[in-house]
Amino acid sequence: MNQLELLRHRSAAAIVADRRARNATQIAQAGLVDKLRDRCAWKGLRVTSAGSLPHYCIHLHDGRELVEVPVSWDDTRQLRRLVHAVSSELSWLGQYAAFVELTPGRIEAGIKAVCPQDSFLPRWVADYSYRVNTKIFPDRRAAHTEDGSPDDYPRCVEGVINACSDDRGIVVEISRPSTLASVMAARLLPPSLRMSSWDDPERQCTIKIEKVGGFQDTDEALDLLERVARSLSYELDRLTPDSSQGFELCARAPWPPDRHWHPDRPRVRLQHVATPLLVTLNTYCEDSLGFYWRGRRSRSDAVNEYKEYYLVLERNFARYMDTETIEFARQQILDAHLNSNDAIAVLLATLSDRWRSGKSQLARLRATLEHCLSPQALIAFIEGDEELKRHVSRVKTIPGIQRLAVRRHDLVEQLANRIHQIRNQTLHADESNKAGGRVLRPNAKELVYLPLEVKLIRFAAQAVLTASATPTSTR
């Protein structure tokens, strides 16, 4: 047999082998499709044609109604995963791009960055984009191997965020979408994104939550998803102030596709954050957290960002001013022998004076920060940022603002005075001007230092948010 005949023989054998492989794949796919139809019928789920598109639609519950999910039969691995998920009570969660397997207790949801790192992205792309910063959260998982596991997440080099709550049996991971999410992609991503060149898998992540014991219903799963998202997003933003990893849950994309649909809408050295993080499931004041996220979204406008963080502090003034007065009264009652009308009158007069003096914004700000902010934590924060440390140690970089003596015992009080003065110069410029006070006008050269002051007030706002949070428990 010459060389040409040998090549022909090998080509014919390869063609036959390829045909056999395709036939085997088609047979396997047909078997999985039949099994999927049977499982859907057993679970009371309808399977319908998706019209002219090469899909079928499975109708899944979202707690209120049936939602169409277009599914392609082309990928055997994805079909096998979908069959397993349908058997595990697969459902959508509310109006989010999120689904749950109730029996094993698995949730997966699409997320978007509150402050996108890729500033060039169009808004309709940024609304579905989230990238884990590998310089902060490198992927330390083992390399991916095809082990046939129905819950196998693709391994990647894009970084992974892990968190857990051992006492509640909850494990959380933020990473690239799983196999099941790829099956559901038509409802997780908007058609305008999937039909464009912006559909970059490296910009897409999902949050995955596993709870030991599963879920009783979709309401329980939805409640856990929202609480974990709120709590973990804030903690990530607090831990990564220079590369915000805070996120929000994405809205579910419509079906049939609508191309015009969209949802409502200095270089630093980054360091690794130790994982897994702790899922606290804290409940934060909705108003305060709303002000905080509005501030994070205003990073290009330092004055507005400063205002939003100040509103976080202001929202908690009454709580901590009252707390300080009550503690003072309790201590006086314990220390003094109030066995006469005169002693009681003196105490009431003192409390009255404290109450009147506490009505000023500055007094309330001082009381709030002294209750929520540790001097040691503030010192560590300032000294951990060389640029900020140099800024606060200079005299009068901003008119009328004194430098911070970091090692003095009254550091928190100094910070309160500083925040109050800058707030008056920026947010109440008209009133300060009428009163003859100092004013930072929109074109003032000193505004170049305001982003550094934003770092300080953001740290203070985070401390107040954390101190005012209340822990919650799962059902």
What are the extents of the domains in the chain? 47-283, 295-471
Q: How far apart are CA 172 and CA 160, in angstroms?
A: 10
Handedness of CA 366, 371, 374, 378 (dihedral sign): negative
Place of tokens 């794949």: 25
The pLDDT value recorded for residue 291 is 93
Q: Do residues 429 and 441 make contact, with C-beta atoms less than 8 angstroms apart?
A: yes
Q: Please give the structure tokens belonging to residue 330.
A: 């309790």
pLDDT given for residue 154 in this prediction: 43
pTM of structure: 0.69
Taking the alpha carbons of 361, 362, 365, 370 in that order, is the dihedral positive or negative?
negative
* DSSP conformation letters of 121-157: S-HHHHTT-----TTTS---SPPP-----TTPPPP-S
Q: Provide the β-strand partners of residue 69.
A: 58
Residue 208 forms beta bridges with which residues? 108, 173
Q: Which of 86, 97, 171, 83 is nearest to 128 (CA)?
A: 97
Whether omega for the bond prior to residue 256 falls within 30 degrees of 0, making it cis, is: yes
DSSP letters, 200-263, are -GGG--EEEEEETT--SSHHHHHHHHHHHHHHHHHHHHHH-TTS---EEEPBPPPSS--TT---
pLDDT at residue number 6: 62
Cβ partners under 8 Å of residue 458, min gap 6: 241, 295, 305, 309
H-only helix segments in 43-114: 76-87
Contact by Cβ (8 Å): 370, 323: no
DSSP-derived secondary structure letter, 96: B
Q: What pLDDT, on the 0 to 100 scale, is given for residue 377? A: 93
Write the CB contacts of 373 (distance below 8 Å, at least 6 apart in sequence): 412, 415, 460, 463, 464
Question: What is the chain's pLDDT, residue by residue, as a tens digit (475 residues)?
Answer: 566 666 666 666 676 677 777 666 666 777 777 787 787 887 777 777 655 444 678 888 776 777 777 776 667 777 788 888 887 788 888 888 899 999 899 999 999 888 776 655 666 566 678 888 888 887 665 444 444 444 444 444 567 888 888 677 899 999 888 888 888 877 777 655 554 444 555 678 899 999 988 999 888 999 999 999 999 999 898 888 877 788 999 888 776 655 544 444 444 566 777 778 877 778 888 889 999 999 998 877 888 899 999 999 999 887 877 666 666 777 777 666 666 666 777 777 776 666 565 567 888 899 899 989 999 999 999 998 888 988 898 877 787 888 898 888 899 999 999 999 898 888 655 444 444 456 676 667 778 888 899 999 999 999 999 998 887 665 5
Task: Give CA–CA dist 473/457, Å, rounded.
Answer: 30
Confidence (pLDDT) at 463: 94
Burial 185-195 (b: 16+ CB within 10 A, else e): bbbbbbbbbee
Residue 190 CA to residue 211 CA, distance in Å, equals 29
Given a contact cutoff of 8 angstroms between Cβ atoms, the answer to whether 187 and 252 are in contact is yes
Task: Please give the Cα distance from 366 to 321 (Å, whole number).
Answer: 9
What is the pairing mode between strands 106-113 and 161-165? unpaired
* DSSP state letter for 398: S
Please report the pLDDT score of residue 78 as a whole number: 76
Tell me what percent of the chain is helix, strand and coil, each rounded to the nearest 5.
50, 10, 40
CA distance 370 to 380: 16
Instruction: Give CA–CA dist 397/403, Å, rounded.
Output: 8
